[in-house]
């Protein structure tokens, strides 16, 4: 069967991470995604490391399977081209600073007059309304503002950035959810009456949904969540421990498991010892619990600890570096690395699609487009401009 979004067309004004991650999923899922880029220069991510032969691996990851059309958004001829595109697409996605699309004349209110059925999603740092909506923003600042950063670090440390752009990723995927819902609403109306709508997603709001139990904890107990590192408020051991060749992540959540573990470790007395036998005792003596665990893990490789734990039904995780992840059998079994062939850069490994469908499997094979690779195709074949008109646009630096 065809991929699930086969037939859906997307006009993609996105850039950097959040927006491009959203349209990456739409493309993975089978939609035809037409990315609008600046003539000559292209999108800013084309210049972000790692770059080889002038092509960015990060850009290729985020933009695989899309088409690229260059368009000078400030040129007077562009309005006509965008309006023709709008009549041909189902979805618009953009992640400019709020207000930019309105200045350009391409905000939802303007474009829905051209095609009332379009679903239009905007992603921004703080959303399209609210007192902070005009603030410049990046994931670093949003992680700080939304509370996530206040929970990442050890007690006494300066709160630390989470090691990836978590609010970009979550807002991007939530936008996909919003778009799919809006398409459902549009398509369930009687034929020809389906209307689109506007979806406003904020990285800040997306971050707020991932604050664990801290919101209700504050509301119920007045306790403010703080830095807790790899510890857990109600489990011990719960930490990352040195092994002879790296680190392992270990957690024990109940007293019976602790008792079993101490036998496996050859220290059964610790399972009965009142200093360690209960969760409360282990939390009180967490530093000593950590010492006991590390004394044991340090004499073994990560793989040995993992095997011993798994044999006994305990959860454990080797702390893998990215190269170890990429080489793991788990990743190849699930096709979570795919190879794309890029004209300038050659073969490149990028992450696969994590949504595994039994009937409509997703195939990733196309790399990201070169800047403007599909401009002529889209303008002439989709929109019906003549070759002369296209050359005129080129000459006037519209495309």
Q: Does 396 bind a second copy (CB under 8 A)?
A: no
Which window, 49-57, 72-80, 99-107, 377-385, contacts a second copy (CB under 8 A)?
A: 49-57
Q: Over the Cα atoms of the chain, what is R_g?
A: 26
Which window, 33-41, 85-93, 260-268, 311-319, contacts a second copy (CB under 8 A)?
A: 311-319
Q: Does 209 bind a second copy (CB under 8 A)?
A: yes
Token digits for 86?
A: 């709008």
* Count of positions on this chain that bind a second copy (CB under 8 A): 140
Query: Nearest approach, Cβ of 384 to a second copy (angstroms)?
Result: 27
DSSP 248-304: EEEE--SHHHHHHHHHHTT-THHHH-TTTSSHHHHHHTHHHHHHHHHHHHTTS-HHH
Candidate list 90, 168, 200, 290, residue with the active-site label:
168
Strand duo 198-202 + 238-242: pairing: unpaired
Strand duo 91-94 + 238-242: pairing: unpaired
Measured from the CB atom, the residue of 89 and 148 that comes closer to a second copy is 148
Q: Does 308 bind a second copy (CB under 8 A)?
A: no
Which window, 71-79, 81-89, 191-199, 380-388, contacts a second copy (CB under 8 A)?
A: 191-199
Q: Does 279 bind a second copy (CB under 8 A)?
A: no
Angle (CA) 177 322 55, round 5°: 75
Q: Is 139 a catalytic residue?
A: no
Q: Does 226 bind a second copy (CB under 8 A)?
A: yes
Q: Does 224 bind a second copy (CB under 8 A)?
A: yes
For CA atoms 19, 25, 31, 35, the dihedral sign is positive
DSSP-assigned letter for residue 6? T
Query: Nearest approach, Cβ of 3 to a second copy (angstroms)?
Result: 9
Measured from the CB atom, the residue of 68 and 243 that comes closer to a second copy is 243
Q: Does 242 bind a second copy (CB under 8 A)?
A: yes
Distance CA 341, CA 367 (A): 6
Q: Does 23 bind a second copy (CB under 8 A)?
A: no
User: Which position among 268, 351, 370, 390 is part of the footprint of a second copy (CB under 8 A)?
Assistant: 351
Q: Does 338 bind a second copy (CB under 8 A)?
A: no
Q: Is 31 exposed, middle or buried (0-12, 13-18, 19+ CB in 10 A)?
A: buried
Answer whether 137's CB lies under 8 Å from 214's CB.
Answer: no
DSSP 48-64: SSSEETTEEHHHHHHHT
Sites for a second copy among residues 109-148 (CB under 8 A):
126-127, 129-132, 135-138, 140-148
Q: Does 227 bind a second copy (CB under 8 A)?
A: yes
Measured from the CB atom, the residue of 163 and 266 that comes closer to a second copy is 163
CA dist 275 → 270, 283, 286 (Å): 8, 10, 10
Would you please indicate which residues are annotated as catalytic (active-site) residues? 168
């Amino acid at each position: 069967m065809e991929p699930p979004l086969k037939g859906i067309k997307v006009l993609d004004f996105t850039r950097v991470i959040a927006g491009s991650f959203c349209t990456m999923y739409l493309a993975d899922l089978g939609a035809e995604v037409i990315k609008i880029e600046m003539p000559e220069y292209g999108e800013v991510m084309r210049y972000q490391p790692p770059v080889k032969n002038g092509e960015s691996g990060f850009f290729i990851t985020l933009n695989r399977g899309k088409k690229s059309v260059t368009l000078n958004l400030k040129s007077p001829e562009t309005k006509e081209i965008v309006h023709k595109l709008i009549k041909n697409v189902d979805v618009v996605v953009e992640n400019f600073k709020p207000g930019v699309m309105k200045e350009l004349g391409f905000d939802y209110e303007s474009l829905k007059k051209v095609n009332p059925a379009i679903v239009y999603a905007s992603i921004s740092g703080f959303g399209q309304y609210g007192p902070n909506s005009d603030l410049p923003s990046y994931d670093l600042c949003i992680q700080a503002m939304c509370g996530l950063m206040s929970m990442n670090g050890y007690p006494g440390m300066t709160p630390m950035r989470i090691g990836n752009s978590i609010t970009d990723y979550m807002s991007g995927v939530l936008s996909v959810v919003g778009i799919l819902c809006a398409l459902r609403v549009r398509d369930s109306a009687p034929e020809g009456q389906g209307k689109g709508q506007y979806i406003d997603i904020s990285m800040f709001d997306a971050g707020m949904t991932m604050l664990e139990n801290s919101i209700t904890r504050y509301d119920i107990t007045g306790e403010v969540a703080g830095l807790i590192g790899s510890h857990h408020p109600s489990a011990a051991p719960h930490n990352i421990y040195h092994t002879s060749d790296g680190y392992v992540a270990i957690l024990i959540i109940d007293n019976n498991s602790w008792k079993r573990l101490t036998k496996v470790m050859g220290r059964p007395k610790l399972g009965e010892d009142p200093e360690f036998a209960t969760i409360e005792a282990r939390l009180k003596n967490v530093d000593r619990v950590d010492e006991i665990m590390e004394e044991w893990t340090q004499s073994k490789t990560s793989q040995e600890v993992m095997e011993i734990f798994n044999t006994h039904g305990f959860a454990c995780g080797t702390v893998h570096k990215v190269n170890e992840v990429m080489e793991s059998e788990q990743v190849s079994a699930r096709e979570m690395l795919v190879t794309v062939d890029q004209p300038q850069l050659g073969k490149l490994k990028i992450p696969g699609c994590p949504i595994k469908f039994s009937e409509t499997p997703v195939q990733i094979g196309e790399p990201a487009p070169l800047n403007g690779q599909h401009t002529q195709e889209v303008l002439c074949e989709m929109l019906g401009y003549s070759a002369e008109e296209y050359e005129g646009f080129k000459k006037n630096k519209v495309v």
